[in-house]
Amino acid sequence: MHMRQTRVVHDALGLAHGQHVLMPSGQAARVAEIKLHSIVFEYLGLRQRELVELSREQVRQGVRF
């Protein structure tokens, strides 16, 4: 069931695990995890691993892919 829910999120947003995107801040990130109600992004080009979790609505409004 979890995989089926993840597929719905993937289809609804058009995102795939590992896909590179441009965050609202202008920084590049990749999709680290697709959850039912949110997406976790990992910023690229940083010395330390930095993750940010955004709701599906926030992703629709501000992330460019």
Note the pLDDT tens digit of each residue in 35-62.
Answer: 989 999 999 999 999 999 999 999 988 8
Q: How far apart are CA 4 and CA 51, in angstroms?
A: 24
Q: How far is CA 17 from the centre of its chain?
A: 8
Band of the pLDDT at 24, cuts 50, 70, 90? confident
Give yes or no for a contact between 41 and 30, defined as CB atoms under 8 angstroms apart. yes
Reported confidence tier of residue 1, pLDDT bands at 50, 70, 90: very low
Q: How many CB atoms lie within 10 A of CB 17?
A: 13
At 12, list the tokens.
Answer: 């609804």
Distance (Å, whole) CA 5 – CA 3:
5
Domain ranges of the chain: 2-62
